[in-house]
Chain A
Amino acid sequence: MDAISAVEPVGNGEKGGHSVSNIVFRSTVLGSIIQGLVALLIGLAMYTFALGNQYITLSYNLARSASVALTEYTDELQPLVEKVMQRYHALPEEERQKTFTKEYRDLYLDIYADDEYSKIRRLMHRFLNNSDLFGVYIGFYDEKTKSLVYIVDPDDNEETATYPGDWEPVKDNELSEFINWDYDSKTYSIDNTEKWGWICTSGYPIHNAHKEIIAFVLADVSLNDLYRGVKSFVVQFSLSVLLIIILQAAAMVYYFRKRIVNPINDIAEAASNYARDKQEGSDVADHFSHLDFKSVSEMNHLKNVMSKMEFYISEYEKHLTDMTAEKERIEAELSLATRIQSDMLPSDYPAFPDRDDFDIYAAMIPAKEVGGDFYDYFLLDNSHLVMMVADVSGKGVPAALFMMMSKLLLRNAAMEGMSPANALTEVNEIICRNNKEEMFVTVWLGILDLATGVLTAANAGHEFPILKNSQGKYAAIKDKHDFVIGGMPGIKYRQYEIKIDPGSRIFLYTDGVAEATSTDFALFGIDEILDVLNRDPDVAPKQVCDAVYAGVEKFVKGAPQFDDITMMSIHYIKRYEVKESDMPQRSITVKSTLDQLEPVTAMATEFLDMYDCPKRIKPQICVVIDEIFSNISSYAYEQEPGDVEVQIVMNNAQRSVDLTFIDSGVEFNPLRVEEPDVSLAAEDRETGGLGILMVKKLMDGVFYEYKDNKNILKIRKFLE
């Protein structure tokens, strides 16, 4: 949910950057302005060109018709022109510079008075009055001084009128255009003059009878109207274009808002609601499908995609929730399994606080949550310590399940008093019966007789045990290996015996120790284990295990542990003094009737079978039980039958069986019964006393005592 809270809700006022309407408006305006400008320029050029041409034609036509009219006056005009030009050329340069001044004009005063001048001026005047011309006059282009010399000007306005001899400099190109006039093109010039503003001047030559150009008629047209026309055109055009642009942009904006911006905002709002609902944990599942943008296919598509996305996200969330719950459940179960598994391994220390004759410590460090290694130890009786270390193939839950089964079976077999070899053989048969997964377990199973120091052990494919005698160093026992448990049915496991002296130590482990691998793939190995063990050989079992584990940790240099590590260390401190109560025993109390002989015999034979009683001795003990019990049943209780307690005790230390009969009947010491003479012939023999005789002879010791009103008869038989 943290990821969703990172999404900022997008309100209408919080849009970053420019809005789409804004962009549409701006781009429309900008584009239209560029278009409008181009249109304006083109329009302006065309307008100006057309109007300008009209003005040029106007002035040109005027100049020509004036020229035609003047053709009849060439006889008067030619001498006038020559007279003015003679006077002009006669003047020095500095005098000519005074043109347009009164002083300069006075130099030509006499020419004004000529009839020719007046006649021509009158004619010109008529032209001027009959047209819209700004001015029409006769001039002479003087090539020598590059100037236009005015000859006749009909203008009455003193301000603007020119007089004969007045002149103006002429640009080279204008001069050559007029002088080299080709009769075909219109000759004109456009200038912005100080006096009259923009004017267009067209000229037309005046020829004499010899077709010689004697002067030019020049017609001026003011372009100021044109200029004003252009100005108003630009203003009107621009204003109307601008108005159109604004209207168009507004329409575009309106359209875009309706069709694109609003749908986007709707989707944004729906998405924002969706994010908020997700954040608040609301389960509203439908945020997009109500939107309707059918008119814009892309928007509709976007809406459909969003709607689908919402559906898939919600499906995924459901799936994710289920998966998370499932994962949590598995984790919880796995941790419970880990606890159950570790609870199965004895782990309270000191393990046997009331025992000072031996010390034991074991530890299992699983590589995963649950492991396949296990160990177990328990006292079969006060003088027999059962120890086992095992490693199930594989890891994780399967190995753990197999480990549970193997451990229970092995423990049960050992507790039933089976020898290590018999226990392994039995467990192997049971496991092989239902082992479709073909798992197996390596086991080292040993029983240490704490009274004698005899270690009886069997090895089902497990690592070598390590032994240290009281005076020696730790060394591996290269014991006989049989096949792994679960590997193949029908295997007869073998066992071996080693007698160890008090002070000896045993170290057992799994391949998690022997095959611990460092980051550079070196194996810890048995030599390394022995090194660690022999470095400090006389510490307590816990310190032994800690030291080996520390050795492994140091060796692997932080490489991940890939197999369970199991260690067991036993210190056999001293021999155990066996007390009678420690010995394996059974007892039964029955009525003193002869039919109770059967359960007593059954109890004894069953017990003897458990302790590998030699074949010959068992029937002897049965005979003895028969004799004693029948004796008691016949003589102990005179009136009613009473209780008889029969005990049988196995003294493993001296390999003897002790039988005890206790009854509360009449005091009677069977040992005092006179023995029959066994050398007599049949006819002379008596039948009494034979039973007691047999008991004495078959057994190795018979003791009687009468104590607390009880007859106690104890019989001992050595088994070897």
Chain B
Amino acid sequence: MIIEKEKNGTDLVIYLSGRIDSITAPNFDVELKSSIVGIETLTLDMEKLDYMSSACLRVLLSVQKIMNARGGMKVIHVNDVIKEIFDITGFSGILTIE
């Protein structure tokens, strides 16, 4: 898992690549939550993300809840595999996927 960030005022874009599984999800959780301090809108670019496990989903759900109280969060460039995971788990209804 590699995370790259692009901050623009209170807007933050995070580029994810590799995979986020049970091993990397805790890091992702810490990293993400520290990054969104003072952030109003969060964008997660998943173009280079291969796949994610349920551990990642739990992080996403947790962050989504935080961002719901602020300007919001969206997920972009979702590949077929991840889109299917979002669909199966009902996350498609929770996340803003573009």
Interface string of A664-707 (1 = CB under 8 A from B): 00000000000001111111010100110110011000000000
A598 at the A/B interface (Cβ < 8 Å)?
yes
Closest chain A residue, CB of each to CB of B85: A694
Would B51 and A678 count as touching, CB distance under 8 A?
no
The residue from A630, A633, A682 contacting B61, defined by CB atoms under 8 A apart: A682
A597 at the A/B interface (Cβ < 8 Å)?
yes
B9 at the A/B interface (Cβ < 8 Å)?
no
- The docked-state distance in angstroms from the alpha carbon of A693 to that of B88 is 8
Would B53 and A691 count as touching, CB distance under 8 A?
yes
Give chain A residues whose Cβ lies under 8 Å from the Cβ of B58.
687, 690
B54 at the A/B interface (Cβ < 8 Å)?
yes
A595 at the A/B interface (Cβ < 8 Å)?
yes
Would A694 and B21 count as touching, CB distance under 8 A?
no
Would B68 and A683 count as touching, CB distance under 8 A?
yes
The residue from A595, A690, A698 contacting B23, defined by CB atoms under 8 A apart: A595
Would A685 and B94 count as touching, CB distance under 8 A?
yes
Nearest Cβ distance between residue B66 and chain A, in whole angstroms? 10
Closest chain A residue, CB of each to CB of B91: A678
- The docked-state distance in angstroms from the alpha carbon of A622 to that of B84 is 14
Q: Which of A566-624 contact B (CB under 8 A)?
A: 594-595, 597-598, 601, 616, 619-620, 622-623
Give chain B residues whose Cβ lies under 8 Å from the Cβ of A694.
53-54, 85, 88-89
- The docked-state distance in angstroms from the alpha carbon of A597 to that of B94 is 29
Give chain B residues whose Cβ lies under 8 Å from the Cβ of A627.
22, 53-54
Residues A690 and B54 in contact in the complex (CB < 8 Å), given A598-B23, A623-B85, A698-B84? yes
Closest chain B residue, CB of each to CB of A630: B22
Give chain B residues whose Cβ lies under 8 Å from the Cβ of A369.
none
Nearest Cβ distance between residue A409 and chain B, in whole angstroms? 34
Closest chain B residue, CB of each to CB of A681: B94
Give chain B residues whose Cβ lies under 8 Å from the Cβ of A693.
88-89
Nearest Cβ distance between residue A600 and chain B, in whole angstroms? 11
- The docked-state distance in angstroms from the alpha carbon of A677 to that of B93 is 12
Would A682 and B94 count as touching, CB distance under 8 A?
yes
- The docked-state distance in angstroms from the alpha carbon of A132 to that of B62 is 190
Residues A678 and B89 in contact in the complex (CB < 8 Å), given A619-B50, A627-B53, A690-B58? yes
A277 at the A/B interface (Cβ < 8 Å)?
no
Interface string of B51-66 (1 = CB under 8 A from A): 1111101100100110
- The docked-state distance in angstroms from the alpha carbon of A619 to that of B65 is 27
Would B65 and A616 count as touching, CB distance under 8 A?
no
Give chain A residues whose Cβ lies under 8 Å from the Cβ of B94.
681-682, 685
A658 at the A/B interface (Cβ < 8 Å)?
no
- The docked-state distance in angstroms from the alpha carbon of A614 to that of B84 is 16
The residue from B21, B81, B89 contacting A620, defined by CB atoms under 8 A apart: B81
Residues A597 and B57 in contact in the complex (CB < 8 Å), given A679-B93, A683-B68, A693-B88? no
- The docked-state distance in angstroms from the alpha carbon of A598 to that of B22 is 10
Would A630 and B53 count as touching, CB distance under 8 A?
yes
B48 at the A/B interface (Cβ < 8 Å)?
no
Would B19 and A690 count as touching, CB distance under 8 A?
no
B80 at the A/B interface (Cβ < 8 Å)?
yes
A538 at the A/B interface (Cβ < 8 Å)?
no
Would B53 and A623 count as touching, CB distance under 8 A?
yes
Give chain B residues whose Cβ lies under 8 Å from the Cβ of A595.
23
- The docked-state distance in angstroms from the alpha carbon of A566 to that of B51 is 52
Interface string of B68-98 (1 = CB under 8 A from A): 1000000000001100110011100110000
- The docked-state distance in angstroms from the alpha carbon of A626 to that of B52 is 9
Give chain A residues whose Cβ lies under 8 Å from the Cβ of B89.
678, 690, 693-694
Q: Is the interface of B mostly helix, strand, loop or mixed?
A: helix
Would B64 and A682 count as touching, CB distance under 8 A?
yes
Nearest Cβ distance between residue A700 and chain B, in whole angstroms? 14
- The docked-state distance in angstroms from the alpha carbon of A408 to that of B70 is 67
Would B21 and A619 count as touching, CB distance under 8 A?
no
Nearest Cβ distance between residue B85 and chain A, in whole angstroms? 6
Would B57 and A690 count as touching, CB distance under 8 A?
yes
Residues A622 and B57 in contact in the complex (CB < 8 Å), given A685-B94, A698-B84? no
Give chain B residues whose Cβ lies under 8 Å from the Cβ of A629.
22
- The docked-state distance in angstroms from the alpha carbon of A241 to that of B59 is 152
Give chain A residues whose Cβ lies under 8 Å from the Cβ of B68.
682-683
Interface string of A378-419 (1 = CB under 8 A from B): 000000000000000000000000000000000000000000
- The docked-state distance in angstroms from the alpha carbon of A633 to that of B58 is 18
- The docked-state distance in angstroms from the alpha carbon of A603 to that of B89 is 27
Closest chain A residue, CB of each to CB of B60: A682
- The docked-state distance in angstroms from the alpha carbon of A601 to that of B24 is 14
- The docked-state distance in angstroms from the alpha carbon of A690 to that of B23 is 17
Q: Which of A68-92 contact B (CB under 8 A)?
A: none
Closest chain A residue, CB of each to CB of B81: A619
- The docked-state distance in angstroms from the alpha carbon of A623 to that of B53 is 5
Give chain B residues whose Cβ lies under 8 Å from the Cβ of A682.
61, 64-65, 68, 94
Closest chain B residue, CB of each to CB of A690: B54
Would B55 and A630 count as touching, CB distance under 8 A?
yes
- The docked-state distance in angstroms from the alpha carbon of A623 to that of B22 is 9
Give chain A residues whose Cβ lies under 8 Å from the Cβ of B19.
619, 622
- The docked-state distance in angstroms from the alpha carbon of A506 to that of B77 is 52
- The docked-state distance in angstroms from the alpha carbon of A594 to that of B23 is 7
Would B81 and A616 count as touching, CB distance under 8 A?
yes
- The docked-state distance in angstroms from the alpha carbon of A598 to that of B52 is 14
Nearest Cβ distance between residue B11 and chain A, in whole angstroms? 21
Give chain A residues whose Cβ lies under 8 Å from the Cβ of B93.
678-679, 681
Give chain B residues whose Cβ lies under 8 Å from the Cβ of A633.
22
Closest chain A residue, CB of each to CB of B67: A682
Residues A697 and B88 in contact in the complex (CB < 8 Å), given A616-B81, A619-B50, A619-B81? yes
Closest chain A residue, CB of each to CB of B21: A626
- The docked-state distance in angstroms from the alpha carbon of A697 to that of B92 is 15
Nearest Cβ distance between residue A692 and chain B, in whole angstroms? 9
Chain A to chain B contacts (Cβ below 8 Å), 13 pairs: A594-B22, A601-B21, A619-B81, A623-B51, A623-B52, A627-B22, A680-B90, A682-B94, A685-B94, A687-B61, A690-B89, A691-B54, A693-B89
| Residue positions of B touching A, CB distance < 8 A | 19, 21-23, 50-55, 57-58, 61, 64-65, 68, 80-81, 84-85, 88-90, 93-94
Top 9 A-B residue pairs of the complex, sorted by shortest distance between their CB atoms: A678-B90, A619-B51, A630-B22, A691-B54, A690-B54, A626-B53, A697-B88, A687-B58, A626-B21
| Residue positions of A touching B, CB distance < 8 A | 594-595, 597-598, 601, 616, 619-620, 622-623, 626-627, 629-630, 633, 677-683, 685, 687, 690-691, 693-694, 697-698
Q: Beyond A630-B22, A677-B90: 14 further Cβ-contacts under 8 Å? A: A594-B22, A619-B50, A619-B51, A620-B84, A623-B21, A623-B52, A626-B53, A627-B53, A629-B22, A630-B21, A678-B90, A681-B93, A682-B61, A687-B58
